[in-house]
């Protein structure tokens, strides 16, 4: 089975079974095209003849070509997914990615706001323009419920149960989860609903002409609001999601609950926030413990 034929079959399967976002599907296509192009250049006839040593050579060639370790890991992940599918479907007899490892990457910790910074941002002191209700509700909901940007812009009013403080969210892979909405966010959403109406099928957050607000508009509004209030950090939707997760974990220590809230399929993804918590603990310890504090200079 030629590489291009195998990749096309796998991508059709991926699109049908997992319903990935167009961005994710395009990333898989780009990464797997690298493999197909390399196999063609090396005159490797098909995926059923590919060996682990050849796949290692492919990874090494990409590394020499300047591909960053994090990108190589993503590339290898795409290849492993492809070969798992082909093995299951009987197109290959062995997995050429077995035992193949990419270079180690240092996982970058997400930046977060502290609780005072988060409150200062979402409360929008002095905001009195026509967009204030929408902006306040967006920010409160991001911070309250840890939504992804794509999840927030896709909300319609029937997804919200403001009486019980809940929101139904369609996340990655079209998976649905129900997460709590804090009282400040509920109050902001009620205020928005009084201004715009709360028809069941209407978008909660509207842009021009009543259409759902675009992700770019949300990003631009957050940047504008942060600059207006003199915030030095780069403010973006995922920053509030990270902050929500970090603050919840810091207060509760319940990793599984935070995983459910964020909609992470793998708890290892959520565990990144435990490192943030330990960083905070280390800073407190260094500043407060009598055996950790540095002596002040005379």
Domain regions of the chain by residue span: 3-88, 115-284
Which of these is catalytic: 273, 283, 285, 295? 273
Range among 175-179, 202-206, 229-233, 238-242 rated most confident: 202-206
How far is Cα of residue 184 from the mean position of the Cα atoms in its chain? 24
| 273 belongs to the catalytic site | yes
Name which CATH class applies to 115-284: mainly alpha
Handedness of CA 56, 57, 58, 61 (dihedral sign): positive
Per-residue confidence (pLDDT) for residue 279, from 0 to 100: 47
Per-residue burial over 203-223, b if 16 or more Cβ lie within 10 Å, else e, is bbbeeeeeebbeeeebeebbe
pLDDT-derived band at 152 (thresholds 50, 70, 90) equals very high
Q: What is the mean pLDDT of residues 223-250?
A: 80
Please say whether the beta carbons of 83 and 96 come within 8 A.
yes
Residue 92's nearest CA partner among 49, 45, 56 is 49
* Alpha-carbon span 234 to 104, nearest angstrom: 28
Number of other residues whose CB lies within 10 A of the CB of residue 175: 12
Return the CATH number of the domain spanning residue range 3-88: 1.10.150.130
Which of these is catalytic: 74, 134, 136, 148? 148
Percent with pLDDT over 70 in the chain: 80
Per-residue confidence (pLDDT) for residue 107, from 0 to 100: 56
Which of these is catalytic: 56, 172, 184, 236? 172
For residue 70, with 0-12 CB atoms within 10 Å meaning exposed, 13-18 middle and 19 or more buried, which class applies?
middle
pLDDT-derived band at 123 (thresholds 50, 70, 90) equals confident
Please say whether the beta carbons of 196 and 203 come within 8 A.
no
Which of these is catalytic: 74, 136, 241, 247? 241
* Alpha-carbon span 193 to 284, nearest angstrom: 42
Q: What is the mean pLDDT of residues 73-93?
A: 91
| 172 belongs to the catalytic site | yes
Please say whether the beta carbons of 193 and 201 come within 8 A.
no
Please say whether the beta carbons of 180 and 145 come within 8 A.
yes
Residue 189's nearest CA partner among 149, 238, 137, 234 is 137
Q: Which two tokens stand for residue 5?
A: 């034929």
Number of other residues whose CB lies within 10 A of the CB of residue 248: 18
pLDDT > 70? residue 298: no
| 184 belongs to the catalytic site | no
Per-residue confidence (pLDDT) for residue 130, from 0 to 100: 59
Which of these is catalytic: 2, 170, 206, 238? 238
Please say whether the beta carbons of 114 and 179 come within 8 A.
no
| 238 belongs to the catalytic site | yes
């Amino acid at each position: 089975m030629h590489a291009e034929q195998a990749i096309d079959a796998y991508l059709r399967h991926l699109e049908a079974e997992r319903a990935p976002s167009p961005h994710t599907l395009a990333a898989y296509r780009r990464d797997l095209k690298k493999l197909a192009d390399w196999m063609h250049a090396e005159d490797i006839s098909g995926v059923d003849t590919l060996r682990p040593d050849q796949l290692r050579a492919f990874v090494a060639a990409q590394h020499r070509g300047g591909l960053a370790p994090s990108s190589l890991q993503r590339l290898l992940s795409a290849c492993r997914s492809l070969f798992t599918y082909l093995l299951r479907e009987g197109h290959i007899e062995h997995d050429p990615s077995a035992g193949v490892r990419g270079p180690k990457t240092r996982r970058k910790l997400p930046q977060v706001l502290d609780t005072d910074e988060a409150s200062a941002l979402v409360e929008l002191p002095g905001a009195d323009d026509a967009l204030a209700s929408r902006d306040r509700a967006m920010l409160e909901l991001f911070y309250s419920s840890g939504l992804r940007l794509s999840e927030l812009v896709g909300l319609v009013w029937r997804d919200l149960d403001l009486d019980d403080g809940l929101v139904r969210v369609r996340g990655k892979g079209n998976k649905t989860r129900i997460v709590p909405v804090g009282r400040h966010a509920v109050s902001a959403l009620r205020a928005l609903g009084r201004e715009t109406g709360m028809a069941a099928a209407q978008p909660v957050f509207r842009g021009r002409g009543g259409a759902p607000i675009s992700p770019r508009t949300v990003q631009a509004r957050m940047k504008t609001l942060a600059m207006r209030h003199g915030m030095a950090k780069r403010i973006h939707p995922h920053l509030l999601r990270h902050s929500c997760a970090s603050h919840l974990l810091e207060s509760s220590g319940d990793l599984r609950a935070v995983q459910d809230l964020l909609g992470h399929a793998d708890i290892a993804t959520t565990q990144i926030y435990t490192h943030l918590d330990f960083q905070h603990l280390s800073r407190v310890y260094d500043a407060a413990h009598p055996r950790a504090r540095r002596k002040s200079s005379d």
